[in-house]
Structure 1
Amino acid sequence: MYDSRSDEEVGLVPEKNIPGSYGTPYITPIMDRLEFYSNEYQFFQSRVDRYGSTIVRLNAPPGPFMAKNPRVVALLDGKSFPVLFDTSKVEKKNVFTGTYMPSTALTGGYRVCAYLDPSEPNHTKIKQLLLNILASRKDNVIPEFRSAYGKLFDDMEAEVAKSGKFVFNDHNDGTAFEFLGKLFFGVSPSKTELGPGGVKNANLWLLAQLCPLMTLGLPQLLEELLLHTFPIPPFLVQSQYQALYKYISSAATDALKMAENLGLSREEAIHNLVFATCFNSLGGVKVLFPGILRYIAQAGKILQTLLIADVRSAVLTTGGQLTVEALEKMQVVKSVVYESLRLDPPVKYQYGVVKKDTVIESHDKSYKVKAGEMLFGYQPFATRDKKIFGPDADKFVPLRFTGEQGAKLLQFVLWSNAPETQNPTPLDKQCPGKNLIVLISRLLVAEFFLRYDFFTAEIGVVPLAVKTTITSLTKAKPK
């Protein structure tokens, strides 16, 4: 398990050279990219095995010609990874998507908050705006979630009864978009010019930004040419972005007043709100929710029975109402959500540029990195670190985060760009919606097991996420 000794107690002496190789310019990065998209996890595992180190030099996708410099120092363990959160050691300017940055034409000409370093003046203002919006709307989370996802569950029941299959992902995107718009701004996207298909605009806009880091299941050569070599021209999704912009500009009345009070221009605020809603929030739920249901389905009857008892007993203590107080009592639900976030974080990659020469330590080695080098963290390695989580680190253990020992492990759940035990502030790069995402993930599980006694699902793969297809549902018996 994790060694709690301080760096001084361990006494690691920095080694001269970080193992790994960048190879021949252009040729090796392209070969590395092909290997990466063939089997992402194995790409990193092979380097760890080859060099006997969890800190290695390698070429990070997308590489030529998309990235000016694909060379990074990769941090592949839970000990070294947190240096990426330390803004006294790393700069976070323009590194949100790593070795390349999408055109600002996709965000109205602005570098939105995700691409700003905390040292830049508007970072604090924008992040404070996002935190203020979340605080002002906190009482709306449960009713808006239950309204939106209640309809999804009704549709799911009808479709499973009719055809025996319900592709959760296909309906989750639209439901999440509707929920988030109504939650943040009080106006349902479907009730505006966007209509019920508004989420398609967000998905196409997301594709234009993330295509260099994803696959669509096309032949590899075709994906290399269409996705990984040159960026999608922003004008191809301009109309979709304008539709999203128009929705936010008309719906976010209260949020834009908050922005004005913070000294932000209306334009900059709107573009940041589009990004926060459609990239940060929708993008996260798009990946996370199907993954949570996947793990619960695969765990089977025993876990689902535990969840039923956990959820329904907690709700009984609050007079039959699903409240924040009830959710706080659901220890199994909490653990399942944290375990899902540990195994499959919505954002797998973290980046930072070293500010000054510094020493980075893994569990058993120490290396000096130079100012200007880019650090790259592959989070699924850091959060599956066997020296922290033990020999079953690669497995879904639903009760991992229960009890005293489970509480100690929470500091190593890193999905929000910080330890789970910390909360975001305007001065850091932790996800401002960290607590909201955890809350609505618990709501998903709780609402599911208030309605159902058991379900099964088929698991596949879609871009950015697992594909969870519900194949059977057993409704809870009315009392």
Structure 2
Amino acid sequence: MESSDLPLRPIPGDYGLPFVGAIKDRLDYFWFQGEDKFFRSRMEKYSSTVFRVNMPPGPPIAKDPRVICLLDQKSFPTLFDVSKVEKKDVFVGTYMPSTSFTSGYRVLAYLDPSEDRHTKLKQWCFDLIARNGKHFIPEFHECFLQSCAAWENDIALGKKANITAEVQQFAFNFLLRAVCHQDPTAPGKASLHQNGGPYANDWTLPQLLPIQGNTGLPHPVEEAAFRTVVLPSFLEQSKYDAIHDFITTYGTEALAMAEEMGIDRKDAAANLVFFLSFNGYGGFNLFFPEITGFIHQFGHFDLMHELHDEVTKAVAGASSSNVTLQALQNMPLLKSVVYEGFRYKPPVPHQYGKAKCDFVMESHENAFEVKKGEMLYGFQPIAMHDAKVFERPDEFLPRRFMGPEGEKLLQYVFWSNGPETVKPTVHNKQCPGKDLVVTMSQVYVAELFLRYKDFTIDIEGTGPAAKLFFHSLTKA
């Protein structure tokens, strides 16, 4: 076991009595304290950013909810070191949804890099993105314009325009159009009509409900319905089957690529449903409304007008009147705003890994011994607000990542299960679509401000159940 120059300290905290301790921590997490206070109160209690605690959902869904929690920039990257941690079946935490949700296959997100299937499936994902690279921005543009028309029509009728619902449509549709080369809303065999995004959302939701709070239901009902039993896949089977049927019908090029790499076609189809519905669409579905809300809340009209001016000038100076990769290179403020969104509220807040061996891990102040088999957990929203790395960490600063000094901070942005300055490979667990997600998030903001000079927003609900609406839109 390696040594450290920092003082060695036993990991503080405990798990309480079997079963009872886990239930108490779960109630604190969801009801008595809430997510942020749950972690910060323990940081204060133990005077440490590293401590032991039980993570939801706990029993009976998760047999062993005990974790070592990592909440600072120095300890958190341990979760990315696959020489020290195993990433098998830990994608959503201390429990794993049934493989019946994915045609009986353990899909890529649940595989460790040491597994042969991980190498093949991740390389296929890289190749799929590369082959279809030229399609993503044009298809996004077409889908986005359809949503703009819907928003503008609602506002013209004196109604609020639903951001959340429209993102649910175009974020899913553009991915299917780019990868499968077929509009999922078009009439025809296996058409999803206007149901693609909602179907993907409904299929994803039961896999996350055990670790997701604030559904809007009374607390006892939520606990009984979502955290004492595992929701069966058959509740959403028809929606999964519809997306699966679309992919097997129109995604033949992608599936043929997989077969050429030695991947079973059924395995590839299950993974493609997951890539597009859970990984890709799920991330966009969360992040696009949130970055819209952040710009409105923290930048107001001044920031909106600056973004509008930057985008219009960059597009006018490029070779096309539309948003392109070339134009994005001349939008430093917009790029910084997007990175700040990933830092301020990462779309994937939780990371897990199980220790492969005994090793010493460091926080800023102390060293800690980790034993083989212990589960490590990181809550990214607090690590991304580490005051030892980020100035004014709890503020949304649009220009944080601009200029040489700002760019140096990108190494501390971990939303993709790895530093922003590191490339995903078949040997790590960083999101294979990291660069695509960043690019398309920048495209979303650019498209928004190419068309609109400013907007106002209303929010209904809280937490995961919150919905955003445009109250007004000022066209450019």
Which TM-score band applies after superposition, normalised by the shorter structure?
Answer: over 0.9
What is residue 445 of structure 2 aligned with on the other side? 445
SS at match of 1:190: coil
What is residue 3 of structure 1 aligned with on the other side? none
* Matched positions, count: 467
CA distance in 1, matches of 2:107, 2:465: 24
What is residue 37 of structure 1 aligned with on the other side? 30
2:196 is aligned, of 198, 201, 211, to 198
SS at match of 1:74: strand
Q: Is the 8 A contact 1:290 1:466 kept in 2?
A: no
Letter in 1 for 2:333: V
Residue 107 (str. 1) matches residue 106 (str. 2) = no
CA distance in 1, matches of 2:24, 2:216: 19
> 1:56-75, aligned counterparts within 5 Å?
56-75=51-70
Runs of 4+ in 1 over 6 A off after TM superposition: none
What is residue 355 of structure 1 aligned with on the other side? 356
SS at match of 1:388: coil
CA distance in 1, matches of 2:440, 2:175: 11
CA distance in 2, matches of 1:242, 1:462: 31
How far did 1:198 drift?
A: 2.7
Over 3 Å counting, the alpha-carbon distance change for 1:46 and 1:463 in structure 2 is closer
How far did 1:374 drift?
A: 0.1
What is residue 209 of structure 1 aligned with on the other side? 207
What is residue 473 of structure 1 aligned with on the other side? 473
Letter in 2 for 1:443: V
Residue 12 (str. 1) matches residue 10 (str. 2) = no
Q: Is the 8 A contact 1:287 1:465 kept in 2?
A: no
CA distance in 1, matches of 2:96, 2:171: 26
Residue 388 (str. 1) matches residue 386 (str. 2) = no
Q: What TM-score do you get using the length of structure 1 for normalisation? A: 0.95
* Residue range with higher mean Cα deviation, 422-431 or 55-64: 422-431
1:92 is aligned, of 76, 87, 95, to 87
What is residue 237 of structure 1 aligned with on the other side? 236
CA distance in 2, matches of 1:426, 1:366: 30
How far did 1:433 drift?
A: 0.9
Over 3 Å counting, the alpha-carbon distance change for 1:460 and 1:343 in structure 2 is farther
Q: Is the 8 A contact 1:291 1:466 kept in 2?
A: no
What is residue 364 of structure 1 aligned with on the other side? 365
> 1:247-266, aligned counterparts within 5 Å?
247-266=246-265
How far did 1:461 drift?
A: 4.2
CA distance in 1, matches of 2:361, 2:465: 32
* Residue range with higher mean Cα deviation, 216-225 or 451-460: 451-460
CA distance in 2, matches of 1:375, 1:460: 35
How far did 1:95 drift?
A: 0.5
Residue 378 (str. 1) matches residue 373 (str. 2) = no
Cα deviation digits, residues 289-333 of structure 1 (max 9, x gap)? 000100111120111121112111211211444210110110011
Q: Is the 8 A contact 2:140 2:170 kept in 1?
A: no
Letter in 1 for 2:395: K
SS at match of 1:471: strand
SS at match of 2:270: helix
Letter in 1 for 2:63: K
Over 3 Å counting, the alpha-carbon distance change for 1:402 and 1:461 in structure 2 is farther
CA distance in 1, matches of 2:209, 2:233: 12
CA distance in 2, matches of 1:406, 1:68: 43
Residue 158 (str. 1) matches residue 153 (str. 2) = yes
CA distance in 2, matches of 1:134, 1:465: 31
Q: Is the 8 A contact 1:291 1:465 kept in 2?
A: no
Letter in 1 for 2:92: T
How far did 1:119 drift?
A: 0.3
SS at match of 1:189: coil
CA distance in 1, matches of 2:360, 2:126: 34
Cα deviation digits, residues 165-188 of structure 1 (max 9, x gap)? 112001110111111110111112
SS at match of 1:351: strand
CA distance in 2, matches of 1:402, 1:449: 19
Letter in 1 for 2:254: A
CA distance in 2, matches of 1:331, 1:88: 36
CA distance in 2, matches of 1:465, 1:186: 32
What is residue 325 of structure 1 aligned with on the other side? 326
SS at match of 2:117: helix
What is residue 165 of structure 2 aligned with on the other side? 170
Q: Is the 8 A contact 2:457 2:471 kept in 1?
A: yes
What is residue 133 of structure 1 aligned with on the other side? 128
Cα deviation digits, residues 32-86 of structure 1 (max 9, x gap)? 1111113111110111011000000000000011101000000011111011011
CA distance in 2, matches of 1:232, 1:12: 45
How far did 1:463 drift?
A: 5.9
> 1:281-296, aligned counterparts within 5 Å?
281-296=280-295
What is residue 411 of structure 2 aligned with on the other side? 411
* Residue range with higher mean Cα deviation, 53-62 or 152-161: 152-161
Q: Is the 8 A contact 2:216 2:465 kept in 1?
A: no
Letter in 2 for 1:414: F
CA distance in 2, matches of 1:252, 1:88: 36
CA distance in 1, matches of 2:464, 2:184: 23
What is residue 4 of structure 1 aligned with on the other side? none
SS at match of 1:58: strand
CA RMSD of aligned residues (A): 1.4
Letter in 2 for 1:13: P
Q: Is the 8 A contact 2:347 2:415 kept in 1?
A: yes
Task: Give me the identity figure in percent.
Answer: 46
What is residue 24 of structure 1 aligned with on the other side? 17
How far did 1:472 drift?
A: 1.0
SS at match of 2:209: helix
Cα deviation digits, residues 132-189 of structure 1 (max 9, x gap)? 1100011111110100001111111111222241120011101111111101111122
CA distance in 2, matches of 1:228, 1:124: 33
Letter in 1 for 2:353: G
CA distance in 2, matches of 1:194, 1:140: 20
How far did 1:467 drift?
A: 2.6
Letter in 1 for 2:312: R
SS at match of 2:459: strand
Q: Is the 8 A contact 2:136 2:175 kept in 1?
A: no
Q: Is the 8 A contact 1:351 1:375 kept in 2?
A: yes
CA distance in 2, matches of 1:276, 1:132: 13
SS at match of 1:389: coil
SS at match of 1:457: strand
Letter in 2 for 1:353: K
